[in-house]
Chain A
Amino acid sequence: MREPVTPDPGSGKTPIEQRMVELFRAEEGKVFSGEELGNALKVSRTAVWKHVNKLRARGYGIESVPARGYRFLTAPDTLTATELSTGLRTGRIGRRIVSADETDSTNLLAFRLAEKGAEDGVVVIADSQTGGRGRLGRRWESPGGVNLYCSVILRPAMPPVRAPQLTFLSAVAVARAVESVTPLCPRIKWPNDILVNGLKIAGLLNEMSSETDTIHFVVLGIGVNLNMKKEQFPEGLRYPASSLMLESGACVNRVEFTRALLTALDTLYEDYLEHGFASARNEWLRRSMVQGRRVRVSSGDEATEGIVGGIDDDGALLLQRGDGVSERVLAGDVTILDDLHP
């Protein structure tokens, strides 16, 4: 495991690869033959091929055009602290960013840092995770170079009973970020699944360390499938999943997405600390599109149906059942029933 290093984005890039990128960028969309690149860089065609592969391994998108050469598709998009911090104007979230090439899980790393005293708003990001996980120990596929795996340490001065509200803040933040960098329309599924075209594109797992009346810290774990390709998804997923690239047809700039996410979270968190849950809740309701809709909530063998009246301070879903009884649902899987006939 490579522990939190904050690699300098420029380091480790040999001059040849750097120059190759510059050549590509000077004429975007052009297909360069191996010979042309070799001549310009004064290396053999085999060497060109090797350098192209090295760049690809670092997350560059370079297409091989059969019998013609190479076409540059995507800019280097490394999620390093230096890269992300440039132009990030947040008050709390991401004032300090810890980035790692690879870690077991950003939530675990954030937990370790928080236990050592990492402050409110510290963000932990890894390019790949060897032990990415979801609820109840489920695996979260975390290949390098394509997605976002990040965890945010929060230390809100409030009792632990309120902490579940933070789940709704992070869901809203992800939805805002998706909306700001893609033309897609994300929908939030209660409480915090983010769906695009009905497919899960993000996994949010939050963890808290607390005593009865005090929050030590909360770690908001946010994994978003940005540029993951079809073949990178594992078999047998619990929910149908996708990536923003697969849904929009365009590669998402990871740095841009991450900045948008941290900015959204910063705004929401500031507002939450100052004014409480109301505005995040309203935005969540709008984005979840469940308000006033008829839904079924299933949990194990049991299911309840009703019209959604909102969510309460615990985040519980408030249902008005057909028999007039209102019910408070704390866990379960929500299906919108009148979805097909809006």
Chain B
Amino acid sequence: MDIKDLKTLIKMITETDITEFELETNGEKVRIQRGRPAEAVSYALPQPVAVAQPVALPVSAPAQEKPAATAVSAEAEKSQTITSPIVGTMYRAPAPDAPPFVEVGQTVEKGQILCIVEAMKLMNEIEAEYRCRIVRICKENAQPVEYGEALFLVEPL
């Protein structure tokens, strides 16, 4: 899929009420999420290539004019969401008495652990897939999270 197709796709989707869209063909995967909290488009190839990071395209989602949405969208403009790959419980620290892995405003390196999501005694360490700054932590410690739910809002650096 080239950039033109991608644009067409985004245009098509923004004309509907769909807030989340995923397409997988020939090993390519496109995921478009819009609405809250961040407008993000991710386009990933199975191989690690230069564009493997979610590409922040300036998606012109139809402005769902909602009051108080301005602050969020300003924040979300350069931001990406990091979502939970499993249904589980989010832990912000490795142990109850340990300091949290990350705090808002902190710059984290690629590969750094951001939190743990536990499901059925399987601990999933969520790592930063790129260097970024933590803009918002979307969940409290020890709270349940759904699959695909936002854990962090980050600003890629």
Contact = CB atoms under 8 A, between A and B. Distances in A.
A169 B125 CA distance: 21
B95 A163 contact: no
Secondary structure at the B interface, as helix, strand, loop or mixed, is: strand
Interface of B: 29, 44, 83, 85-89, 91, 94-96, 98, 118-125, 127, 129, 144, 147
A210 interface: yes
A206 B122 contact: yes
Given A161-B85, A212-B83, A331-B89, A135 B123 contact: yes
Contact of B124 (A136, A138, A163, A330): A163
A156 interface: no
Given A192-B120, A330-B89, 16 more contacts: A136-B94, A160-B86, A160-B124, A161-B85, A164-B122, A168-B120, A205-B121, A207-B122, A207-B125, A209-B127, A213-B85, A314-B119, A314-B120, A315-B119, A315-B120, A330-B88
A210 B116 CA distance: 11
Contacts of B88: 164, 330
A166 interface: yes
A153 interface: no
Interface string A100-143: 00000000000000000000000000000000000111100000
B123 A205 contact: yes
Question: In terms of DSSP, what is the predominant structure of the interface of chain A?
Answer: mixed
A319 to B, nearest CB: 16
A192 B144 CA distance: 19
Interface in A178-208: 191-192, 204-208
A211 interface: yes
Contacts of B120: 164-165, 167-168, 191-192, 314-315
Interface string A208-243: 111111000010000000000000000000000000
Contacts of B44: 213
B118 to A, nearest CB: 8
A164 B119 contact: yes
Contacts of A135: 118, 121, 123
B31 to A, nearest CB: 8
B144 A330 contact: yes
Given A136-B96, A213-B29, A330-B144, A192 B87 contact: no
A161 B125 contact: no
27 contacts: A135-B118, A135-B121, A135-B123, A137-B95, A159-B85, A160-B124, A161-B85, A161-B86, A161-B87, A163-B124, A164-B88, A167-B121, A191-B120, A192-B121, A204-B121, A206-B122, A207-B123, A210-B85, A211-B129, A212-B83, A213-B29, A213-B44, A213-B85, A315-B119, A315-B120, A331-B118, A331-B144
Interface string A142-162: 000000000000000001110
Contacts of B119: 163-164, 314-315, 330
A208 B121 contact: no
A316 to B, nearest CB: 8
